[in-house]
Structure 1
Amino acid sequence: MVFYKSEEEISVIRESAQILGKAHGLVASNIKEGITTLHLDKLAEEFIRDSGGIPSFKGYNGFPYSLCISVNETVVHGFPGSYIIKDGDVVSVDCGVKFNGFHSDSAYTHAIGKVDTATLSLLEKTKQSLFKGIEKAVVGNRMGDVANAIQQHVEQEGYSVVRELVGHGIGRNLHEGPEVPNYGKRGQGLKLQAGLVIAIEPMVNLGTRNIVQENDGWTIRTRDRKPSAHFEHTIVVRKDKAEILTTWEYIDKAFK
């Protein structure tokens, strides 16, 4: 089912996204060499709850944590735990917040210390591809236009798009229709209409696009164990320009 949102509902998602953005900022200000990923998870959960929100991920289909923290070759859905972040790691932090009945969802991949040039380029191009996709999320375009913009931007650099995992509609439920793939053909797929709220989230690999699910039933990693990057915003389709509801401003402030 595809649910179009009223301006009142979009306003609540925007409030949810502010809490989420500040949680991301708190993680960004604490993410560094020598910190465990579980420590970051606890900081985020405490902040979200203190702000009147609920961590969207915790308990979702049995997922046991508030953050997905995916390091290096882990693409998505990594478990926070005893892993100690090291110099040269790339760490994807994916988080969702439910506030007053509505969810928001965003992700950001952090470079820790001295990361090699090839991996830094992967992160930058993946982030750019997200905004290329957002540019196409306007009334009258089709989902394939969004997907193709992402795919073309990263594949021309020699990177590969994960195909088994996609973005999604979001609102009263964390995952709603439609699916938002990161690959596809222009002019195909759902015709975009005003009020459609979706989470666009390119997942891009330095090597091949092939992935493996670990035995925990959640963690997804690259088959060739080369690094992966993941960036995500929750946006609403508008007539001339999509509105980005989630924010990275607090991440940016943490690094100034």
Structure 2
Amino acid sequence: MSRQIFRSKKTKVLSLAERTKKFGNYELIVPDLSFRPIQLCVPKHIARPNYSDIPAIGSVIHIHDQNEIKSIRQSCQLAKHILDFACKTAEEGMSTLELDKIVFEEITKNGAYPSPLDYHGFPNAICTSVNNVICHGIPDNRKLKTGDLLNIDVTVFYSGYHGDTSKTVAIGNVDDKGLHLMETTLNALKAGIDKVGPNKPLNLIGRVIEEIGSKNGYSIDKQFCGHGIGKLFHQAPLIMHYDNPDDTLLEPGMIFTIEPIFNQGSDGFVKWPDAWTAVTVDGARSAQFEHTVLVTDDGVEVLTG
């Protein structure tokens, strides 16, 4: 989710030659202003989240009881299944819109609602972010090509709760720079999860993630963050993926996402006219991985693992 406080730096998009030399071999994704999303119709029997009056996130962190945790586990495990299904389905020559339709059918077949759909007007079941798209990419008619990095972000509303997870996958033959970006971002997510546990300060998560990114020469996105999740799609706490002063002590029963984004170049971003798709200002590639986690009495449980 977006914190809406970070402003993009003014950085020019590099030429093809400059971009290839600095960041690797891939296609720059640009907006298709003629594209219009299709209407997805969720079967009437499927329970829907209430997005008619989305509350402010606030600062109160909900502590989930065992009954709530049981339901959230179910939602998160379904989200894991859907993401695995989507990653196996995505292939060269398929459009992200085609992928969205297939995943939508799988979500609704399992009796769940695709959480992004109609959230603040988002038109699709999943987010598909390719190459220089940082996050919140709207599925469209562009065909996936060999060398693409594709992030698939899945959230489902099931048994009254949301489950959220994402992964960046390689389409066809991806160059070494792209593979290194993916591997490093995944390692940072794992390191952040390792810092979760009772009585540990929240900012340990961002600190270790930023250390890994900086050590490997990547910028850490500061606009988009992890978040609490449960009956609401987004709630407290906010999870920053960089060093920050929030030393709130974690407690058993807290549930939130960790979803670091690393960019090859600048940490600045711009949004497309669709008001959703965020892209790097310099055309560099971006990668993201995400899990929903539960603070337990003695550590952490990866609910979407």
TM tier relative to shorter chain: over 0.9
TM-score of the pair, normalised by structure 2: 0.79
- C-alpha distance in 2 between matches for 1:241 and 1:153: 22
TM-superposed CA distance for 1:2, in Å, is 1.3
- C-alpha distance in 1 between matches for 2:71 and 2:297: 20
AA matched with 1:239? D
Gaps of 5+ in 2: 1-59
Q: Which of 194, 198, 201 is the aligned partner of 2:252? A: 194
- C-alpha distance in 2 between matches for 1:105 and 1:142: 23
Equivalent residue number for residue 173 of structure 2: 114
Equivalent residue number for residue 227 of structure 1: 285
> Any conservation in 1 of the 2:87–2:152 contact (CA below 8 Å)?
no
Equivalent residue number for residue 195 of structure 2: 136
- C-alpha distance in 1 between matches for 2:195 and 2:216: 20
Superimposed CA distance per residue, residues 106-148 of structure 1 (whole angstroms, 9 cap, x where no aligned partner)? 0000111111111110100000100101011111111111110
Q: How does 1:60-75 map to 2 (within 5 A)?
A: 60-75=119-134
Equivalent residue number for residue 208 of structure 1: 266
- C-alpha distance in 2 between matches for 1:226 and 1:72: 8
Q: How does 1:17-28 map to 2 (within 5 A)?
A: 17-28=76-87
AA matched with 1:198? F
AA matched with 1:205? N
Q: Which of 81, 88, 94 is the aligned partner of 2:147? A: 88
Query: Secondary structure of the residue that 1:152 maps to in structure 2?
Result: helix
Measured on the aligned residues, the alpha-carbon RMSD in Å equals 1.1
Gaps of 5+ in 1: 248-256
> Any conservation in 2 of the 1:95–1:106 contact (CA below 8 Å)?
yes
State yes or no: 1:155 paired with 2:155: no
Equivalent residue number for residue 55 of structure 2: none
Query: Secondary structure of the residue that 2:83 maps to in structure 1?
Result: helix
- C-alpha distance in 2 between matches for 1:43 and 1:241: 36
TM-superposed CA distance for 1:11, in Å, is 1.2
TM-score of the pair, normalised by structure 1: 0.94
Query: Secondary structure of the residue that 2:262 maps to in structure 1?
Result: strand
TM-superposed CA distance for 1:23, in Å, is 1.1
Q: Which of 221, 226, 250 is the aligned partner of 1:167? A: 226
> Any conservation in 2 of the 1:163–1:183 contact (CA below 8 Å)?
yes
